[in-house]
Amino acid sequence: MHALHVSCPHCGAPLPLQPTQRITICAYCNTSTRIGTWSDTRPQVPTTHHPPAHSPTAQHLPTLTPDSVPAEVVEQIKQRVIDGRHQDAVALYAQHARVAPAEAEAAIQQLLTPQLHRLTSRLPFTPIAFAICVAIFCAMTAAALWSGLMVHAGAHLWLLLTVPSAILALSLLVSLPPRAVSMWVSAWGKEGRARILKVVILRQGYVAGGSLVLILMDVVPLAGGESCRDEEVMLVRDGSLPKLSTGNIIRVRYDDRTIRRVFTTTPIEVVGRA
């Protein structure tokens, strides 16, 4: 089921919704919003009117009403999501929003979860980290093959090495390619310009000297072409946070096939202001 996108009634940020959702949270302004009935936004026409076959389908949008959940509670919910305490976040939201756990679960699933997944699955390697991971993958693959041959020869104790080596090698085989692609894109991808529309610090000091930041930006290819809107969770050095002020235009590199991966240059470079 694809998420639908509407705007937060408080700050105008995009809110991804599932059609069955009844409540949602804006990660930018910490507003909890009730989702009312879905309405047809087409102009009303007489019943005798027959629209042409090529006319667009109805555009259905929900009515959105800000809820009474305090912003500080929403901030606590976000921090629990970031910490991986998913069920705690659901319970806290259900308590304060006075909704069923299933409804709170649907809202929490849309709150930062897709962005955090992209961060962890696409975080670019440094060349040294990539080389280390490749070396570990080769070593684990060799260990799994060697111990497998020993087990086949009758030395069954080698099975204790075969299984964990194979599991680790397979996990690296799954995780290495997307992060290797991200490493390539961040270093040699197509160059573009991104205008910062909204930014919020999710966790100051998420790592030593760096913070976890949610950014909404319009990306324009430097060589020309259509712009696209992108939302990313990024790890940003604390000294670079002022460069991500709303309205700043920064250099980025992106995947030239679909602009699925967008990375700021290192260090972040501000080239203008809108």
3-state SS, residue 43: coil
pLDDT digits (tens, 9 = 90+) for 66-82: 888 999 999 999 999 99
Of 238, 237, 228, residue with least CA distance to 262: 228
- Return the C-alpha torsion angle 145, 147, 148, 152, nearest 10: 140
Q: Measured between alpha carbons, how far is 195 from 113 in angstroms, rounded to an integer?
A: 24
270: helix, strand or coil: strand
AA identity, residue 3: A
Residue 122's pLDDT is 81
Burial class (CB in 10 A: 0-12, 13-18, 19+), 102: exposed
User: What are the pLDDT digits (tens) for 166-195?
Assistant: 999 999 999 899 888 889 988 899 999 999
Give the tokens for residue 192: 């573009």
CB 76 within 8 A of CB 90: no
d(CA 258, CA 3): 19
DSSP state of 174: H
pLDDT computed for residue 231 by the predictor: 86
- Other C-beta atoms within 10 Å of 231: how many? 19
Mean pLDDT of the chain: 85
- The DSSP H or E segment spanning 17 is strand 14-17
Euclidean distance between CA atoms 229 and 100, whole angstroms = 33
Contact 250, 199 (CB under 8 A): no
Place of tokens 């930041």: 213
Please list the pLDDT of the chain residue by residue as tens digits (274 residues). 456 778 899 999 988 788 788 899 999 999 999 988 665 444 444 434 444 444 334 456 678 888 889 999 999 999 999 998 999 999 999 999 999 999 999 899 888 877 787 777 888 888 898 999 999 999 999 999 999 999 888 888 888 888 999 999 999 999 899 888 889 988 899 999 999 999 999 998 888 999 999 999 999 999 888 888 888 888 899 999 999 999 999 999 998 766 678 899 989 999 999 8
Per-domain boundaries in the chain: 4-41+58-111, 127-186, 190-273
**What is the reported pLDDT for 135?**
96
